[in-house]
A and B are shown apart, each in its own frame.
Chain A
Amino acid sequence: MHLALATLLGGGGAPVNDGPIAAGIKNFSNWLTEPTRYSVASILAVVGILYFRKFFSQVWVVTAFFALSTAYFVFAFQDPNFNAIITKPDNVPIVILFVTVIFFSWLSLRRAVINDERTKRGEPTLEGELAKQKVFTWPDLVYSELICLILFTAGMLVWSILITAPIEEPAATARTPNPSKAPWYFLGLQELLVYFDPWLAGVVLPSFIVVGLCAIPYLDLNPKGNGYYTFEERPFAIAFFWVGFLLFWVSFVILGTFLRGPNWSFFGPFEFWDLHKLEPMVNVDLSTYFWVELLDKPRPDNPFVREAPGIVALIGYFLVLPPLLGKTVMKKMVEEMGMVRFNVFMHLFLWFALIPVKMGLRWTVNLKYFIGMPEYFFNV
């Protein structure tokens, strides 16, 4: 109700008079941020940055990036649709998240590049050089802690005085707002709901994230890179964490906050959040592909027969693939890690990989479920 009111007052996407360049930038932004392109572009960005890390870790690159982002931000701020979302007080932290994550990723990459070069020349790492010196906790550490705290508190106070914490209308269980979003730090999981059912996106996958994080120290047996930044001594570990944390967590939070509107439909940053925007649902189950399209038959009634192709596919994926890889390509890995570690690792990894696999299949062939058994609430 109040959303509808806002629509009326806001004039339903007030007409914006843009010059051709401004309109071009806005249209391009809306086009690029569509979830498929957004995800592919961010994958390419991560791979590209890690590969060309020497270039990207230069100071002027990150300075130029932040300068351009600021310019873009100032430009976008004039747009009523962009403005409406970015100026919500609760979205300020997401902007902070964006800036800090990019800055610290750059910083770590820079130190990794420098350290890797030093190691190649046989010199100690940046950390190694300083580690030889020991200083007193009082005053060196206590003072820098104190200065941090004072500056930080001052910043918090200014922020708190400038921006009042919002409060919406009183709770009404009968009136569902649209969009209904989970707290922002869970929006990555809510984004997964597009591809998976709640039992996977909301229960199983988060549990595996926690279990997987706990397992990291026991699965990563590479003794190198302990206590200093490096890329070349542990390329797989770093790349994996970048993909997991930066792509599938942080960038999905940003996507969910700024680009998902009513009905969880996609909206470009300059698009009006129209309640009536409908995205056609044309997704098809694997069983339909198999029985109807491939064999040209109706789907069998027995759910287990009907879903046999998906069941076989997933058994192959989770149970046949690991031993197969362990016997062939990853033989060395099994020898180094041992059977137990290898299997735990493979299963966690395959669950993780299921996310991009399913996303890819959704984008390319509109796959809905590998196994779709609504009879038992069992949809994968």
Chain B
Amino acid sequence: MTKLFNYIRESQIWKSVFRHGYPDTPRNRTLAVLSNVFLHLHPVKVRRSGIRLSYTWCMGGLTFFLFLILTLTGLLLMFYYRPTADKAYEDIFALREHVPIGVMREMHRWGAHLMVISVWLHMYRVFLTGSYKPPREFNWNVGVILLVLTLLLSFTGYLLPWDQLAVWAITVGTNMARATPFLGHEGPGAALVSFGGIDFIHAGDDVRFGLLAGRFVGEGALLRFYVLHCVGFPLIAATLMAVHFWRVRKDGGISGPL
């Protein structure tokens, strides 16, 4: 058995993948982190205080993990879902009716709820430990954008089941846009945006119309939300997460007393 292991570990294939021995010596432990692009997000050594659960609550890590779960389950859901007004509901319904112990939709939905909670708690922790103070001001701002993106991801996904709950929640949410100052047709100042007696802002061209691709939540809105939910926002969020993690390292690792 030992011989077999040794044979495998001496083979060219193994060595081409792992460029160091088992990580039980300082040298190999360092190499384990340095030579792996994913682990390389971490520094080689960390302050003891920074990895305590009672300090970070692991909420940033959990948020990231939830993002990964959601990407995976979301990808699987995309195989079965057609974003059109007459198919969307049917497809979601079929997932529920025809798949025994199906968990993909559940994992995706409960995970999405949890991600909103964990990102709030992460922000709460970062605030309470004063970790936004110099030199981490910029990373806090990256975080704020990630928070907004998380909410937008969740909001656009909320519409996709195309049931009463979905459509009306998005209607209530986007009705707000009608009242945007100057840009919504029921917003203060919208009447001022007119030229020679022609109103430029009306129900057929204000921001709400732009969000929904129509005057109400219909097929256009479904497609628009689908594309943003599955492609647009995840790409931006993933990019910013890379920046966020990189910055955690560059700003001296998880914050701690100086």
Contacts and interface: CB of A to CB of B under 8 A. Distances in A.
A130 B111 CA distance: 33
A223 B256 CA distance: 13
Contact of A199 (B69, B147, B148, B187): B187
Interface string A144-166: 11001100110011011101111
Given A159-B106, A170-B164, A204-B181, A213 B51 contact: no
A261 to B, nearest CB: 15
Contacts of B148: 210
Given A108-B128, A165-B105, A177-B168, A137 B117 contact: no
Contacts of A184: 113
B49 A203 contact: no
A133 B203 CA distance: 62
A135 B48 contact: yes
A202 B179 CA distance: 8
A21 interface: no
A18 B218 CA distance: 47
Contacts of B50: 131
A198 B92 CA distance: 32
Contacts of B101: 161
Interface stretch (B38-46, B223-231, B240-248): B38-46
B110 A159 contact: yes
A104 B57 contact: yes
Interface in A214-270: 214, 216-218, 220, 223-230, 234, 237-238, 241, 245, 249-250
A170 B162 contact: yes
B116 A133 contact: no
- Of B93, B130, B136, chain A has the most CB atoms within 10 Å of the CB of B130
A136 B154 contact: no
B110 A218 contact: no
Main DSSP-derived SS at the A contact region: helix
Interface string A121-139: 0001111111111111111
A191 to B, nearest CB: 13
Size category of the binding interface on chain A: 35 or more
Nearest to A238: B128
B82 interface: no
A195 to B, nearest CB: 15
A110 to B, nearest CB: 9
B213 interface: no
Given A224-B130, A249-B120, 7 more contacts: A104-B125, A134-B45, A136-B26, A165-B106, A171-B167, A177-B168, A213-B147
A-B pairs with the 4 shortest C-beta distances? Answer: A202-B176, A160-B106, A217-B137, A93-B113
Interface of A: 90, 92-93, 96-97, 100-101, 104, 107-108, 111-112, 124-142, 144-145, 148-149, 152-153, 156-157, 159-161, 163-173, 175-177, 180-186, 189-190, 197-199, 201-204, 210, 213-214, 216-218, 220, 223-230, 234, 237-238, 241, 245, 249-250, 376-378
29 contacts: A92-B110, A93-B114, A100-B121, A104-B125, A127-B55, A128-B49, A128-B256, A144-B53, A148-B58, A156-B69, A157-B103, A160-B103, A161-B101, A167-B163, A171-B85, A182-B169, A183-B158, A184-B113, A198-B186, A199-B181, A210-B144, A217-B134, A225-B129, A226-B130, A226-B134, A227-B129, A234-B130, A245-B120, A377-B191
